[in-house]
Chain A
Amino acid sequence: MAVAALLTTASLAACGESGDSSEGAAKTLTYWASNQGASIEFDKQTLQPELDKFEQQTGIKVNVEVVPWSDLLNRLLAAATSGKGPDVVNIGNTWSASLQATNALIPFDDATLAEVGGKDRFVPAALAAAGAPGKPPAAVPLYSLAYALYYNKKMFSDAGITAPPTTWEELVETGKKLTKSGQWGLAVEGANPSENSHHAFTFGQQWGGEWFDSAGKPTFDTPQNVAAVKRYVDLMAVDKIVNPSNAEYAQNQSVADFANRKAAMLLWQAAGSNFKAQGMSPDEWGIAPVPFPATPPPGGKKVNSMVAGINLAVFTHTENREGALQFVKFMTSDAEQVILNKTYGSLPSVKTANADPAFQAPEQKVLGEVLGSTAAPLPQVPEESQFETLVGTAMKELFADAAGGKPVTEAQVKEKLGVAQQKMGS
C-alpha cells in the first residue's frame, strides 16, 4: 500500500515538474543536476551562467533543478517509472548499470556518441563506468573523481611525521601517534551506506575479493571480502584511531571534523573545495594516494580507489532528443569541462580538457594519477545500487557495534554480509 501510494505521489510530483517541458517543447529542457558544490544555492549560481550561454548559442532554455543526493535516486526512479520528468539528468556513475536496466535512459551507441563529439573524446576509464560492459553506455561521464588520503600537514609535522603513509600498517601507526585528547587519527563516515560500500569495494579489491562473480551473482561473504570489511571497521574497533562518534556520521561530519582540525586524516573524493568552504586553507592539508596493504594478500589487486564520478544521461521520454543531446555536447565541451570541473575540484571527463593548467594543482594531479593507474570501476551490474545499500548498511551496523565497545569478530562480519547477500536473491 505504502509503496503504491508513494509511487503514485512520486509520479504525480514528477508530472507537476515536467509542466514547462511540454509547452514549447523545442525551446525548453528540464535538467536535474546533482549537488556538487558546498550547497544547492552554490550549484545554482555556478550552473546558471553556463545555461545562459547555452541558451544564447542554441535558443534552448534549460530549467535547472539541483537535487540533493539523498533524494536523487528516488526522484530518478519516479521519473523512470512514470515516463515523466526531466530531459537530462546527472546520475552517480555507480548507478549507471542499475538505471540502464530500466531502459529509461537513451543508450549512447556509436552514432549517438558521434552526435556529442565522438567516443574518443572521453577518458576511457570514465566512459567504462557508464553502463554494463558489452552494452552501449547509458550515459556519458561529466565530472570525474577518485578517492585520496587527505592529511593535516601541521599535525603531521608536530608529531615528527615526514611523509604520508603508503601502507595501512603505516596509516595505523601514524594514526596512533596522532590520536590524543580532542584529536583523532582518522575520520570516517560510518553511518553513510554509500561511503561504506565504496570502501568495501576498494578494500575488497586489495584483499583479492569480488562482490559479484562473472555471472553477476553476489558473492558478499567470501573470506576475502570478510577480511577486507573487517580491516576497514578495525580502524575504529581495534586500532582505535577513529572517534567512536563517527559511527553515527552520515551528513559529511567527517569532512567537517577534518576541516576543523579534529581529525588528522580523511579518505575522501576531491574534498579540497569543501575544506575551503569550511575555512581550512589549501596549504594546511596535503594529499596522497590511498594506502595499500604492506604485503598484498593472495589475489590482491593494485586498486586504491573506485572510478568515482558523475554521468550525464538523457531520458528516453524526452520530447526534445536533439536539444538534449546538444546540451550534453555543450556540457562535455572543453570550455565547459574546464569551467565546471575547476569550480568543483573534480577532473574533466574529456581528454583534451585535462591539459588545462587548472588541473595541474597538487590535488588534481594526485586524483588524475589515481584515476589513470590504480582506480577500478565498481561492478557495473544492475544490482549495484542494492550492493551499496545492503553492504553499506551492514557496515553501519558493524561500526555501531564497534562504537558500543562490542568486539567485531570475523564470524559477525561474515554473518552480516551473508544476510545482505541473501536479501539480494529475494
Chain B
Amino acid sequence: MATTTAPGPVRPAGRPAGDDPPSRRGRRGVRRSYLPYLLLVPAALLELGIHVVPMLVGVWMSLLELTQFHIRDWSTAPFAGFENYRVTFDFDSATGRDLLHSFWVTALYTTLSVGFSWMLGLAAAVFLQRPFRGRALLRTLFLTPYALPVYTAVITWTFMFQRDTGLVNHALDQLGLIDGANPPFWLIGENSFVALLIVSVWKSWPFAFLCLMAGLQNVPPELYEASAIDGAGFWRRLRDVTLPMLRPVNQVLLLVLFLWTFNDFNTPYVLFGGSAPRQADLISIHIYQSSFVTWNFGLGSAMSVALLLFLLVVTAVYLLVTNRRREHA
C-alpha cells in the first residue's frame, strides 16, 4: 500500500534503475498519477448509480406527497416539505406510535439476534480451533445455513412452525413439552417474536462462525502455550488471549451483523407473508407496509431516511468508541 500511494514514480521491482531513458520517465509519471483514478471510475460510477443516486431520490421522495395519484408522474406530486417527517415522528398518532413500537421490537430483536449469533459463532470457532477427526465435516455442516438461499430456507421454517402440521410442534409434543391437544402458535401472537429470532440466529450465526474462525487462525499458538505454562485455564485463556486477539475481527463483525439484522427484510417477509404480527413487526417490514401496501411512498421514504440517519449515527458512534478504545489499549 505505502509504495503505491507514495508520490513520484515507483519502479517495478526487479528492473534495474537507469534502464529507462529520462525522456520517457516524465510521461510515465503523469500516466501513473491518472491511472489509479481511471481504475476507480467504474466503481465510482456504480457506487453513484446503485447507492448515492437512489439515496438522494429517496430523500427527495420523502419531501413529496407521493401517493397513487402522483406515482405515474412524480412531477405532479405536491411538495410536502417536512409533513411526512412530522407524521413519522408524531408519536401520539397511530402511525408514529406504531413506528416507535416497531423500532423497539427491532432494537430488541437485533440485540438478541446479534448476541446469540456471536456467542454461538465464537463457541463453535473455539471448539473447532484444534484439529481433530471430522473437523472439516463439522465446519461444512455449520456453514450450511449460510450457503442456503434465504427464501427457500425461511419458507421451510414457515412449514416447520405451522401449528397443526408443523415439525416444531410435533417434536415438542413427542418430547412431552407441550399439550398436544392445544399446541402453541409460532407464526402469530406472542411466540412469533421467538420464531423470528430463532430463524434469524440460525441464518446469521454461521457468518459469525466463519469470521471468528478466520480470526483465530491469526492467533499465534505460542501465546496459548505461554499462558498454559503460566497456569491459565480455559476461561482465562479465552478472556486474556482469544478475545483480545479477536478484537479487530469483532469490531467489524458486530457492526456488520447489527446492520444486517436491523435492516433484515427477507426473514420476516417470507416468514409472515408480508403482514407481520405486532409482536414481530420489524422496522423494514413496517416501512414496506407503510409505503407499498398503503401506496404512500412519501411517508415510507421519510421513515427510510429516518432509519438511515439512525443507523449512520449508531455506526459513527460505534466506530468512534471502538477505535478510541483500541488506541488506548
Contacts and interface: CB of A to CB of B under 8 A. Distances in A.
A403 B186 CA distance: 12
Interface in A63-95: 70, 74, 77, 80-81, 83
A382 B98 CA distance: 24
A419 interface: yes
Nearest to B66: A3
Interface stretch (A40-48, A168-176, A290-298, A383-391): A383-391
A426 B87 contact: yes
Contacts of A81: 71-72
A7 interface: yes
Given A74-B292, A104-B72, A2 B304 contact: yes
B304 A3 contact: yes
Contacts of A389: 275, 289, 293-294
B188 A191 contact: yes
A389 B291 CA distance: 12
A420 B144 CA distance: 41
B263 to A, nearest CB: 8
A70 to B, nearest CB: 7
Which of B69, B275, B291 has the most A CB atoms < 10 Å from its CB? B275
Which of A5, A251, A385 has the most B CB atoms < 10 Å from its CB? A5
B125 interface: no
Given A4-B57, A70-B274, A250-B273, A404 B297 contact: no
What range describes how many residues of B lie at the interface? Answer: 35 or more
Interface residues of A, number: 48
Nearest to B273: A250
A396 interface: yes
Given A1-B307, A4-B301, A4-B304, A396 B275 contact: yes
Contacts of B290: 423
Contacts of A74: 292
B295 to A, nearest CB: 7
20 contacts: A1-B305, A3-B61, A3-B291, A3-B297, A70-B273, A98-B295, A99-B68, A102-B68, A102-B69, A243-B164, A245-B163, A247-B185, A248-B162, A382-B68, A386-B293, A393-B275, A400-B185, A404-B188, A404-B190, A426-B299
Interface of B: 54-55, 57-58, 61, 68-69, 71-73, 87, 93-95, 98, 162-164, 185, 187-190, 263, 265, 273-275, 277-278, 284, 287-297, 299-301, 304-305, 307-308
Given A1-B307, A8-B57, A399-B188, 18 more contacts: A1-B304, A2-B284, A3-B288, A3-B291, A4-B54, A7-B297, A81-B72, A99-B68, A103-B73, A191-B188, A248-B187, A248-B188, A251-B273, A382-B69, A386-B294, A390-B294, A393-B289, A424-B294
